[in-house]
DNA sequence: TATATTGTTACACC
DNA sequence: TGGTGTAACAATAT
């Protein structure tokens, strides 16, 4: 599941690989992945240059030279794969017919390919999405704030204005909510999902079921430290691949072997050897050590 | 075939 | 009313 560290890793990969490139065409294999008609989408981005790539919460913002941006959300299973020299390797010319391209993408490895961006230099960018929950939206740049405002996104946890006081303010405002739900609530703190919320609670030795109002000052400090440290460490290792997450080079993230609890139901806690338990909180699986996390 | 998966939202409830 | 919880939905693999 791409969360903040995975999306940030992809953002950096895209910045180094496609920034400055000019889009020659786009192949739309699943119109359900975009927000406007295929015709409008293709026409709008043709010949546009990639200005830069940004991230807000788990959303990638690809800024184009023509006043539009592409907002990409990978949801559970989205992938962005950079394919250098795609045209020459696939044996295509720049003016290849759509039908021939579509036929080529019927190959099994492209089963979940929804969109393909072709660049003037022959490189390509592939958007895969097994579950089809993700999207790439064409949004006018003057409407991006409107869009992210509509999504009610909270603070970016790695920015300087996400201070310990701000974090405690959030806890105080929602004293009855479980800490797991606060960490994963995108309207409060943006970018933390199921994996890292469990890992942050494990780092802080706090049960994900604890309510915010009953946390001591020290416990709140530990959670805050966990948010910063774990997200930064995960970015440093290019994310966690527990499912189908890959970076733009098609490589897995390196954080999976650092997971303390996520996905380890029935396995032993590294600290006390107790079995890791799994409970549902707000309908989501949550993993924790019942001895270490109180 | 029923179930599990997560991010997001719509809606019911107190 | 606003804060909270829950169910529903997206589509697919197993």
Residue A177: which residues within 8 A CB-CB, separation 6 or more? A185, A211, A212
Residue A85 pLDDT exceeds 80: yes
Report pLDDT for A257: 86
Could you say which DSSP state residue A177 is in? S
Q: Where on strand C do bases come within 7 A of a protein Cβ? A: 3-8, 10-13
| Tens-place pLDDT, residues A159-185 | 998 999 999 999 988 888 889 889 988
Please report the pLDDT score of residue A147 as a whole number.
67
How far does the CA of A151 sit from the C1' of B10, in Å?
Answer: 14
Count the Cβ atoms, other than its own, within 10 Å of residue A185.
18
Taken in order A92, A94, A95, A97, the sign of the CA dihedral is: positive
When mean pLDDT is compared across A21-25, A36-40, A232-236, the lowest value belongs to A36-40
Asked whether residue A285, judged by its CB, lies under 7 Å from any atom of the DNA or RNA strand B, the reply is: yes
With 80 as the cut, is the pLDDT of residue A266 above it?
yes
Residue A146 in this model has a pLDDT that exceeds 80: no
Among A152, A112, A156, smallest CA distance to A132 is for: A112
pLDDT, residue A151, reads: 60
Sorting pLDDT into bands at 50, 70 and 90, what band is A144?
confident
Q: What percent of chain A has pLDDT over 90?
A: 51
Predicted TM-score of the model (pTM): 0.94
Report pLDDT for A244: 80
State the Cα angle at A138 between A131 and A55, rounded to 5°.
75
Instruction: Give the torsion through C-alpha atoms of A150, A220, A292, A272, to 10 deg.
Output: 100
- Which of A178, A170, A234, A223 lies closest to A200, judged by CA? A223
A19, A228, A278, A284: the catalytic one is: A284
Confidence label for A91 from pLDDT (cuts 50, 70 and 90): confident
The distance (Å) linking the CA of A133 with the C1' of B11 is 22
Predicted local confidence at residue A111, as pLDDT: 86
| Residue A150 scores a pLDDT above 70 | no
Which residue did the predictor score with more confidence, A157 or A153?
A157
Mean pLDDT, rounded, for A270-277: 93
**Considering chain A, what is the average pLDDT of its residues?**
89
What pLDDT score was predicted for residue A96?
82
């Amino acid at each position: 599941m791409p969360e903040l560290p995975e999306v940030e890793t992809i953002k950096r990969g895209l910045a180094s690989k496609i920034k400055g490139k000019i889009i020659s065409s786009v192949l739309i294999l699943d119109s359900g992945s975009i927000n406007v008609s295929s015709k409008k989408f293709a026409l709008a981005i043709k010949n546009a240059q990639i200005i830069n790539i940004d991230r807000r919460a788990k959303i990638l913002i690809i800024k184009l030279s023509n006043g539009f941006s592409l907002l990409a959300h990978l949801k559970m299973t989205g992938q962005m794969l950079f394919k250098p020299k795609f045209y020459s390797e696939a044996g295509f010319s720049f003016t290849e017919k759509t039908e021939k391209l579509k036929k080529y993408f019927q190959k099994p490895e492209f089963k979940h390919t929804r969109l393909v961006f072709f660049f003037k230099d022959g490189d390509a960018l592939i958007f895969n999405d097994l579950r089809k929950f993700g999207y790439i939206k064409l949004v006018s740049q003057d409407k991006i704030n409107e869009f992210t405002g509509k999504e009610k996104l909270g603070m970016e946890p790695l920015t300087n204005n996400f201070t310990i006081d701000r974090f405690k303010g959030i806890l105080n405002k929602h004293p009855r909510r479980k800490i797991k739900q606060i960490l994963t609530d995108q309207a409060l703190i943006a970018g933390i999902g199921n994996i890292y919320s469990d890992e942050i609670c494990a780092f802080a030795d706090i049960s994900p079921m604890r309510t915010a109002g009953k946390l001591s000052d020290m416990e709140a400090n530990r959670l805050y430290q966990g948010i910063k440290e774990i997200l930064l460490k995960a970015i440093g290792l290019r994310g966690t691949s527990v499912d189908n997450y890959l970076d733009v080079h098609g490589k897995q993230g390196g954080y999976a072997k650092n997971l303390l609890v996520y996905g380890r139901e029935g396995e032993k806690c590294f600290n006390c050897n107790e079995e890791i338990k799994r409970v549902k909180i707000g309908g989501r699986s949550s993993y924790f050590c019942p001895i270490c996390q109180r």
